[in-house]
Homo-oligomer: A and B are copies of this chain.
Amino acid sequence: MRMPLSFLRFLIGRPLATREQDARKIGAFEGVPAMGLDGLASSAYGPEAALAVLIPLGAAGLAQIGAVMAPIVALLAILYVSYRQTIRAYPTSGGAYTVSKENLGVEASLLAAAALMIDYVLNVAVGISAGVAALTSAVPALHPYTLTLCLAILALITLVNLRGTLDAGRFFAVPTYLFVASFMLLLAIGSYKALAAGGHPAPVVPPPPLPKETEALGLWLLLRAFATGCTAMTGVEAVSNGVGAFREPVVRHGHRTLGAVCGILGILLAGIAYLARAYHIGAMDQAREGYQSVLSQLAGAVVGRGWFYDLAIGSLLCVLCLSANTSFTDFPRLCRLVAKDDFLPRPFAVVGRRLVFSVGIIYLALTSGFLLAVFGGITNRLIPLFAIGAFLTFTLSQAGMVAHWRRELRQARRHRHRASLAINALGAAATGTALIVIIAAKFMEGAWITILAIPCVIALLKAIKRYYDELGLRMRDEGRLQLHRSKPPIVLVATEGWNRLTDRALDFALSLSPDVIAVHLTKLEGPDVDREEQALRRKWSSDVERPARELGIRPPRLALIQAPYRRIHVPLLKLVERLEAEHPARRIAVLIPELVKRKWWQHLLHTHRARRLRDALLRYGGSRLMVINVPWYLSEPRIEEAMAPEEKRPAEAEPSLKGGKAASS
């Protein structure tokens, strides 16, 4: 036990006290890497995806990129403003789940929760495998290790997040800000060159020529380009969902983080669209030999293939691989809120060793790791599944805010509220439209799976809630304690042989009750059974009954039982049943002496009968039975061994025992 504990300490750090919570909250500097990586990484594949849809238009398609990207950037601006409002209105947890619950009711909130949970799991699998795909296409020698790389990155992100969101934010800050700085500089240089050359700059490394036109321009093509380009926005809701991680003043830190993510993303999207057109850069077919991503072509065209190219593309690869981190910040916090409302198992709401919700983190790692393993680290087919969830929650969250402002307006008619309502209504309409386009465009490619999965998840959440409701009803306290003046229980001491454990157990038993029965398992067959039984009874009379009588204690009885199927708990349960029938007013206690195993290898050397007997008795014994464990040690333990070094300091306050002394001794 000692060794693994110190290893855990090395891996995820010392346990944190609850009072350290405030010091573990994050600001905007850590907020961008913690929640923004998904959004920023989108800049790499959003424009590329839109350009890919435009490929059939050939060179003419490039002229349309502005028409596609402009509404996307506008939508981003609307989302920014409306999420600012959401964060201000719900500073403790501004996520779609809370906003829907407060304003649209439980059903809407479950819809939001299900959509978000599916999205977050998919985001981890897709994000990591997309990052690794970019990495292996840059370094083809790594290709055979695709799945290993995926799982290694997943393990890294999981471990860092188990240390806490603050650690994750700091750890991933370097690649994040390196990426932001290098691409900002790249766009600035490119734009300067383009403007200086009157809109037609000469590329340092010329991009490959654009393909020939095979299709005519149509509205549906543009809509599809818009819908696929919208994947660039899937990370924007993350800040509002993870707002609980920020330190005071929460709203200011949330606004700054949201502003930074949206601002950088907007500049990147607009800049990429402008430069792609200026430098004549289009998407290439990924399946073809010599494929280059749009950003790689762009960097080559602007600055050539020098160290700066390597730096920019290298930091982009890091950001792509780490975009899953956003899920690790938000998913556990979302699950915690849902679990607090009893729609998810309670362990999701338990604060872990490092003040994060470790169960959620581990669950996310396991499910996405399972997806990666099943798909061998290539999760392209999952991409159509996952923009739906984001836009569904955008819409729900915006619609919820509309309801919120309407209620506020009813209470007090202020102009500010009217403006806010208008903004959120615009946001809801825009994201709702985008959602319909996305579903229509991607339904056959796999989006139907998401649309099927969401109701299943909701049904599961509701089933969990029903269980807890039923449990709560059954467990509800009825006010005054119902006491009975009951006799001490009849105590059974379960034993298979006479040794010090049995002696101690009998001594303990006699301190609890005058009615003690030692239950001894006897052999069934062989010629010596009768003789052995006689010997046992003689020994009992001289070694147990006599000392008890000498002390004036009623001597314990001896019951010999047989277990024809070698399972002692069955005859013991039968005996309990009989005693309960004979003594309807008494309780029964079974006392089980147990050797405490303190080394892992000791568990291999013993038969664990005590543990199995305890489990069977608790499981089937009924509500008049209690099970008493009497530990026996090879070496007496010290209570300090149970504590981490931090816990050995004296507690803030000694427990207050009402009335001074604990008990009259």
Interface residues of A (CB under 8 A from B): 15-19, 21, 345-347, 350-351, 353, 464, 467-468, 470-471, 474-490, 498-504, 506-508, 510-513, 515, 517, 519, 524-525, 537, 542-544, 546-548, 551-553, 557-562, 564-567, 569-571, 573-579, 582-583, 585-587, 589, 591, 594-596, 598, 604-607, 614, 616, 618-623, 625-634, 636-639, 641-644, 646-647, 651-659, 661-665
Contact = CB atoms under 8 A, between A and B. Distances in A.
Nearest to A659: B557
Contacts of A564: 17-19, 647, 651-652
Contact of A657 (B553, B557, B632): B557
A623 B596 CA distance: 10
Contact of A637 (B464, B476, B622): B622
* Copies per complex of this chain: 2
Contacts of A345: 604-606
Contacts of A562: 651-653, 655
Contact of A551 (B474, B483, B498, B622): B483
A554 to B, nearest CB: 9
B655 A636 contact: no
Given A547-B480, A566-B18, A628 B627 contact: yes
Contacts of A652: 524, 562, 564
Nearest to A489: B511
Given A489-B511, A552-B485, A605-B346, A577 B517 contact: no
Contacts of A558: 658
Contacts of A551: 483, 485
Given A507-B484, A585-B665, A596-B619, A565 B655 contact: no
Given A570-B642, A625-B631, A476 B488 contact: no
A19 B543 contact: no
A557 B662 contact: yes
A622 B636 contact: yes
Contacts of A515: 662-664
A605 to B, nearest CB: 5
Nearest to A591: B626
Nearest to A512: B512
19 contacts: A15-B565, A17-B564, A345-B604, A346-B606, A481-B507, A483-B507, A515-B663, A557-B662, A559-B662, A570-B647, A579-B663, A582-B662, A598-B619, A618-B631, A619-B642, A620-B638, A622-B633, A626-B628, A629-B629
Given A557-B662, A626-B628, A629-B626, A506 B481 contact: yes
Nearest to A1: B619
A474 B579 CA distance: 34
Nearest to A14: B565
Given A345-B606, A350-B607, A475-B501, 19 more contacts: A17-B565, A18-B524, A345-B604, A346-B606, A468-B605, A474-B634, A476-B499, A480-B543, A483-B506, A512-B512, A519-B655, A557-B662, A557-B663, A564-B647, A565-B644, A618-B631, A622-B633, A628-B628, A628-B629
B579 A662 contact: yes
A481 B544 contact: yes
Nearest to A590: B629
Contacts of A586: 663, 665
A594 B619 CA distance: 11
Nearest to A508: B626
A544 B548 CA distance: 36
Contacts of A570: 642-643, 647
Contacts of A644: 565
Contacts of A557: 657-659, 662-663
A487 B511 contact: yes
Contacts of A19: 524-525, 564
Contacts of A665: 487, 582-583, 585-586
Contacts of A565: 15-18, 353, 644, 646-647
A628 to B, nearest CB: 5
Contact of A642 (B604, B620, B642): B620
Contacts of A489: 511-512
A18 B525 contact: yes
A77 to B, nearest CB: 39
Given A551-B483, A605-B346, A623 B619 contact: no
A253 to B, nearest CB: 21
A607 B347 contact: yes
Q: Give the top 9 A-B pairs by smallest Cβ distance, nearest first.
A: A515-B663, A620-B642, A583-B665, A561-B655, A486-B511, A475-B499, A17-B564, A627-B629, A573-B639
Contact of A632 (B582, B623, B656): B623
Given A487-B511, A604-B345, A605-B464, A637 B662 contact: no
Given A525-B19, A585-B665, A623 B594 contact: no
Given A481-B544, A508-B587, A553-B485, A662 B517 contact: yes
Contacts of A464: 605
Contacts of A607: 346-347, 350
A620 B651 CA distance: 19
A663 B651 CA distance: 46
A481 B547 contact: yes
B618 A629 contact: yes
A353 to B, nearest CB: 8
A566 B15 CA distance: 10
B576 A639 contact: yes
A554 B633 CA distance: 34
Nearest to A589: B628
Contacts of A579: 662-663
A553 B583 CA distance: 23
Nearest to A608: B347
A564 to B, nearest CB: 4
